[in-house]
Chains A and B, each alone.
Chain A
Amino acid sequence: MRFYGKERRRTKIYIQETIFEEEKNVNPAKLLRFLLVLMILVGQAACASPATPTQAPEAPAAATESPSEPIKIGWFGALSGDQAVWGTAERNGFQLMFEKINAAGGILGRQVEFINYDDKGDQLEAVNVVKRLIKEDKVVAVLGSNSSGRNIAVAPIGEEAHVPIIATYATNPKVTQPTPDTLNQYTFRVCFTDPYQGAVMANFAFNDLKATKAAVLYEISSDYSVGVSDYFKQEWAKLGGELVAAEAFKTGDVEFRAQLTKIKDANPDVIIMPFLYKEVALATKQARDLGITATFIGGDGWPSSELLTMAGEAVEGSYLVDHTDVNMEQVKDWRAEYKARYGMDFEVNAIMAHDAVLVLKAAIEKAGSTDPEKIKIALETMGAVEGYTGSIKIDPKTHNPIGKSAAIIAITDGKFSLFKVVAPMQ
């Protein structure tokens, strides 16, 4: 009781002080702000009252739309954990892009507010932050992420809230199509898909490297890795190649010698390694230590300047399939701006972020509104957008971009360099 009394006195004093403050500073700006808040409240009430109870909860973004308010756009991705290198590059790319758009007058004459959250590379965390973006921050669209697993996990949230999610680097088919006959109405992507990536790997190994015996090492707990290796195996069998070994490991593993010893015994010409750079660095090093001389072929989980420092000699002479060439001429300015702003290495993710922003901006402009529902329709119906990774036209039937090309990158002299560009396949 004694405590209660003290607390109360303190509150009273506080209240008195605030009242005093209030009286002292009645200035026009404060009054105006008060009136503005009042107007918004009244406006909301007016909008809300005629609505029938059945269509109540969703689409509050459209109701509060006003030209002076910024457009809220959300992002989720890994700023910590294994995939932080890419997540950070992507977030930086988006941030820089929106800063440029804001400086040039914004979208539909409105500034963009970029809200970004760290999902730690974790699916559960991704679900939490996307819920927060949509339900609390009321963003008009969600951008990200660089991982299929997390995009598959958050897709139902977009479906339920009717807010479009544009994936930048999630390549598994299930991201937009949970089964071949169904479509996630609100999930889109701007990158190519794993069937294509796997097929490109198989064709490259068979036709360019003239390999006949292939082995696959894959990460069994990753949707991405299992997907790519399956599609590789399909295409490889179609081409008439021989699959001599398929070995798996678990996320977080650092020791691959047991699997690699088995692979070595099968004596393949090429080893397909569709997983992320940390494991790639360890697996390639251990493979070379065991005396394996086969050529390594990787996917879009490889490109990272950290791979070169971590793996060094071991990845020399390897090839990988990527979305685009990170060193290409067109992105020179974008790379320079990025480096000037952040002072860190440029990754392909910043290019994908650039293209995703162009697609979203075009969709909002076509819709002429920031209503998530209208943005979704615009994404499906608008024409091609010219990005750094080619012209991006979303297929309304699959929500994947049509006709994206891939780049085969070679690792020579400790650098990534473009080997060739592969034409889109049908």
Chain B
Amino acid sequence: MVILQQVINGISIGAVYALIAVGYSLVYSILKFSNFAHGGVMMLGSYFGFLALTILHVPFWLAFPLAIVGAGLLAVANERIAYRPIRIRNSPLLYLMISSLGVSIFLENFTIVTIGPNFRTFPPVLPTTPIMLGTISIGRLDLIILAITAVSLALLTWIIYGSKIGNAIRATSYSMRAASLMGINPDWIVALVFFLAGASAGIGGVLFGIKYTVWPQMGNLTIKAFIAAVVGGLGSLPGAVLGAVILGITETFAAAFVSSAFRDLFSYALMIIIILVRPGGLLGKITEEKA
């Protein structure tokens, strides 16, 4: 019984990691760098949802899309301001990563100064009471999160693998230069990818905020999503989802059956082992160095 409960706990954490990990992988697949500002976008996405609900007093069905679009546009602006100038100059990829770290610190401090350092709690918009099956508890919220995650990931998969725009995105991710010779405007594709990544971060941020709480440092948690993306294979969408679920269950089991104090040790050890044994990640094909 305990094991079953722990598996449920693990999957419920994995679902949130998955949404954020997908954003990392999307950006990585195009620009080949780890966008550490992704956590900041997720955090602000969560704040957008929170502020729409508490200040604009709009209903949740409107606040949620507002937060998603807001986070998407924020990610696009982020790319326009902090990455595009570096990209155009053909500077080393390391510069993009450094720039993303800077943006992440900027977003966190900007939020502290403008919105405030306190923890905020979402108004009760989704049911949080659990369903009890004997001694096993399944959170209603977790089920909703799982459903929303599944739908968003399916939609994202369709956009990338099933639509014409997705063709362009995949072409650009193979070779930006060749794609641009075929009449694809890489700047547009990059902006679109950032929008999709930001929107998925917005979904993750709002769900995360409802499940836990909203605060300026919540972006730091995306380091876990980063591990998930690396485990699954940076640049691979199904890999990011797989990595997230594996990470969620590993963490939960480490805490439950070894020691809760060692939990993070297991997460990072998992990442290092994957990098050593299968540098491309479980489902990744790329074998260049991960930054």
Give chain A's interface residues, CB within 8 Å of chain B.
Answer: 79-82, 84-85, 220, 247-250, 252, 254-255, 257-259, 261-262, 265, 278, 281-282, 285, 289-291, 306, 309-310
Contact = CB atoms under 8 A, between A and B. Distances in A.
A250 B263 contact: yes
Contacts of A85: 118
Nearest to B121: A310
Contact of A310 (B112, B119, B132, B221): B119
A258 B9 contact: yes
| A-B pairs, 5 with minimum CB distance | A258-B255, A248-B261, A84-B117, A257-B9, A254-B212
B178 interface: no
Given A257-B252, A259-B260, A310-B121, A278 B217 contact: no
A74 to B, nearest CB: 22
Given A247-B260, A261-B5, A306 B119 contact: yes
Contact of A262 (B2, B13, B121, B132): B2
Contact of A290 (B13, B137, B215): B137
Interface of B: 2, 5-6, 9-10, 12-13, 112, 117-119, 121, 128-130, 132, 135, 137, 139, 212-213, 215, 217, 220-221, 251-253, 255-256, 259-261, 263-264
A342 to B, nearest CB: 14
A81 B163 CA distance: 44
B13 A255 contact: yes
B218 to A, nearest CB: 8
Contacts of A289: 128-130, 137, 139
B256 A252 contact: no
A364 to B, nearest CB: 33
Given A258-B253, A291-B130, A291-B132, 17 more contacts: A79-B117, A80-B117, A81-B112, A82-B117, A82-B215, A220-B261, A248-B259, A248-B260, A250-B263, A252-B221, A258-B6, A258-B10, A258-B251, A261-B9, A261-B256, A278-B213, A290-B137
B213 A258 contact: no
B118 A261 contact: no
17 contacts: A79-B117, A80-B112, A82-B119, A85-B118, A248-B259, A254-B213, A255-B212, A258-B10, A258-B255, A258-B263, A259-B255, A261-B9, A261-B256, A289-B139, A291-B130, A291-B132, A306-B118
Contacts of B256: 258-259, 261-262
User: Chain B at the A interface: mostly helix, strand, loop or mixed?
Assistant: helix
A91 to B, nearest CB: 13
Contacts of B129: 289
B117 A81 contact: yes
B262 to A, nearest CB: 9
Contacts of A80: 112, 117
A309 B121 contact: yes
Contacts of B221: 252, 254
Nearest to A84: B117
Given A220-B261, A250-B263, A278 B119 contact: yes
Contact of B130 (A79, A290, A306, A310): A290
A229 to B, nearest CB: 12
Nearest to B3: A261
A235 B215 CA distance: 36
A250 B264 contact: yes
B124 to A, nearest CB: 9
Contacts of A281: 119, 121, 213
Given A248-B261, A291-B130, A261 B2 contact: yes
Contacts of A249: 260, 263
Q: Taking each of A80, A255, A289, which has the highest tally of chain B beta carbons within 10 Å of its own beta carbon? A: A255
A41 B167 CA distance: 76
A345 to B, nearest CB: 11
A291 B2 CA distance: 13
Contacts of B260: 247-249, 258-259, 262
A375 B5 CA distance: 58
